[in-house]
Amino acid sequence: MLCSRQAETEAALEAQAAHEAEVLARGGTVAVISLNNQPEGTDSGDKHAVYTCTLAIRCDTILNNLGDLAEDKLAYVPHNSVILDTSKVEFVEGESVYNILKRVCAYAQIPIEYSWTVEYGGYYIEGINNLYEFDCGSRSGWMYKVNGWYPNYGCSNYIVKDGDVIVWNYTCELGEDLGAGMQ
């Protein structure tokens, strides 16, 4: 069983790496964070449909819990709690919330740290903008919501659809402070 699980994990990692390479080969950057930054009159040959969603990154709850924030992390909390204002992002079919977050953070030069979790078969976001799990208490970390709903599974397993509204929020109370408790 262990060999089977290891093989599945390796296959999933290979598939993820191939997908990321394909997206990057298409020019995946944005302001609209755009997949196609070709000069006018050129054709990349890419005939895949391009969709759009929006993405924002916020840490409002930290402002209400500054007493719990690790002292060395205060410099990473914007005064208005907005790490990335709502941005329109282009994507292609099959991309996940993880793919989009990773590409947007690279484009906007926002530090991000993540790890692959075998247990959940996906990526876990450890930190964004140098703010990590447990930096603002034992129940703190990052959560994402799509169209007002906090999915109960990993961001690399949520496939984005055209028009989705994605918000990454820092929680100080396992989502209770975000209204994400037991949805």
Q: Provide the pLDDT for residue 143.
A: 97
Q: Among candidates 128, 116, 107, which has minimal Cα distance to 24?
A: 107
> Using 50, 70 and 90 to split pLDDT, how confident is the model at 172?
very high
Where is pLDDT greater, at 126 or 21? 126
pLDDT digits (tens, 9 = 90+) for 66-118: 999 999 999 999 999 999 999 999 999 999 999 999 999 999 999 999 998 88
Domains of the chain from N-terminus onward: 2-35+51-178 (2.170.130.30)
All residues at 6 or more sequence positions from 155 whose CB lies less than 8 Å from its CB, including other chains: 96, 97, 98, 101, 122, 123, 125, 144
39 pLDDT above the threshold of 50: no
Q: How confident is the model at residue 41 (pLDDT cuts 50, 70, 90)?
A: very low
